[in-house]
Structures are given as structure tokens and as C-alpha cells.
Amino acid sequence: IGIVSPNSHHAMTKNAEDFFDRNINFIFDPGQALPMFEIDDLAQFISKSTWVAVNENEGNMLSKKIGISLEKLPHNLLSNKLGCVFQTLGKKGCMVFSLEQSTLIRPIEVANTVDPTGCGDAFRAGILYGLARGFSPEDSARIGNILGSIKVQTEGGQNHSVNLNDISKLLRENYPDSNIKLFWLINYSIAKIISDISLSLIKNKICKIINKAIGEGSKFNWENFGLPLKTIFWMGNNIGDTNFSI
């Protein structure tokens, strides 16, 4: 999937046309570029896009310009059962307007609101992540809310960091009924198990090779692997010394 975000008139129009011609579903995110588009321009963007993403002010402006409420706007989107309009509402959460229903995704309360700069981008990163993996618009918006709540607690637009553990924890605590809960946790657990098993097998294999190279009576183990060790490399008739470290 793709996203057409604020840029020049020409760039946004060209990007939308390219996505549409290649049958790539995309989000129309007019942002601060919204005032420069006329009704006909907006109608073209909307008819070619699968999703629209706006904040509260942009949503009101868009509705006023085209004469269609956000609740009705999904009917004008490119035909797609997952098509919808996302409207962020700051500390009030966000709305998801689809063909079938309008859903309020409740906000995530944070202890320390530092800087809202970049929260909209963080939210869009979340919905892109979810939509690209086939999650419902509502679950994608939940991920967007989580990323926005992480971002707002850090100064600057891109100084925050995220990891799967934090996101999974916030997901469990705030959206326990989400359909993506088991997907993340199970896949993370499986990946961790596979990683541990693979690493253990690699360690054992390396130790066996080194002990065989050193000779009988050697008791090399992984615990001393980071220490300088004299070992033998059979490379033809060449023998060399080396230090092992991880």
C-alpha cells in the first residue's frame, strides 16, 4: 500500500495517479496541503484512494469543501471493503468511518504529555503497518493510537523509540479485545523460541569444532568464548592464532 501525503500540487497528483494506475491501494493524507486543492481535485483524489486520513480541523475543512460529511465519504472512495476515513481527535482518540459503521477508538491516557509534534505521523505509521498486514481499519487505528501515545511523551518529532514489547503491553492494557493481540504475542514468542534454539545449536557446533581442533582433553565452552584463546585453524597446512570474541 502507499500514502499520498502533503507535497506540491503536481507531486501529490502524480503520486495518486501512479498508485491508481498500478492498482496500489493508498491513503490520501492532504494535511496542510488541503487548502490549495479545488473541489474537482479533491474528488479525484478521493475516488482513487482507498483510505483518507485527516485530523479534526482538516476533516471539517474537507467536508465543507466537498459538501460531504466524513460519515458519508467512504461511499466516494475507491471500491474496497476495507475503505474508510480516519480522523484523529487528539486526546479524544480517533474516529474510523467505514461503509458499515462509525467507530470511536478510545484514546490512550499518558502520564506525561510533552510534545504533540509528529503524533499525526506516528499515527499514520501505525495505520500503514496495520493495513499493510490486512488488519481491520479499527485495529490499524488502535496501533496508530499506541504509536501516537508513545510519541507525545517525547520532545521533538522523531526522538522517540518503539519496540514490540512496549507496543504489545499497551495493546493488552488498552485494547484487550483487539483481534491482533494473539497475532503479535504468538509470533513474538515463536520467533524468540526459534532464535534461542538456533543460537544454542550454533554455540554447541562452534564449541565442538574448537575442541576438536585443540585436541583431546580440551574443555572449551561458551562461557570463556569471549576470552583470548589459542586455537588451530586447519587451512591446508597453515596454522594460526586468533582471539575469539562475540
Provide the pLDDT confidence category of residue 236 given band limits of 50, 70 and 90.
Answer: very low
Is residue 2's pLDDT more than 90? yes
Q: Of 21-25, 27-31, 33-37, 116-120, which gets the smallest average pLDDT?
A: 116-120
Instruction: Name the nearest CA neighbour of 102 among 67, 132, 75, 65.
Output: 75
Is residue 159's pLDDT more than 90? no
Instruction: Identify each DSSP E strand in the chain by its residue range.
Output: 2-4, 26-28, 51-55, 84-88, 94-98, 102-105, 228-229, 242-243
Provide the pLDDT confidence category of residue 238 given band limits of 50, 70 and 90.
Answer: very low
pLDDT of residue 240: 40
Is residue 222's pLDDT more than 90? no
Which residue has better confidence, 243 or 19? 19
C-alpha distance from residue 177 to each of 94, 127, 174, 181 (Å): 17, 18, 9, 8
Decide: residue 128, CB within 10 A, 0-12 exposed, 13-18 middle, 19+ buried.
buried
Is the separation of the CB atoms in 84 and 98 below 8 Å? yes
Q: Containing H/E element for 208?
A: helix 181-214
pLDDT of residue 233: 33
Is residue 103's pLDDT more than 70? yes
Is residue 84's pLDDT more than 90? yes
Mean residue pLDDT of the chain comes to: 80
Q: 3-class DSSP state for residue 186?
A: helix
Which residue has better confidence, 155 or 9? 9
Overall pTM surpassing 0.75 (yes/no): no
Is residue 192's pLDDT more than 60? no
Distance, in Å, from the CA atom of 178 to the CA atom of 94, rounded to the nearest integer, reads 16
Q: Of 11-20, 164-173, 201-210, which gets the smallest average pLDDT?
A: 201-210
pLDDT of residue 117: 81
| Exposure b/e, 44-83, CB count within 10 A at least 16 = b | bbbebbbbbbbbeebbeebbebbebebeebbebbbeeebb
Region 64-72: mean pLDDT is: 95
Question: What sign does the dihedral 170-172-174-177 (CA atoms) show?
Answer: positive
pLDDT of residue 124: 93
- The alpha carbon torsion through 34, 40, 42, 45 (nearest 10 deg) reads -140
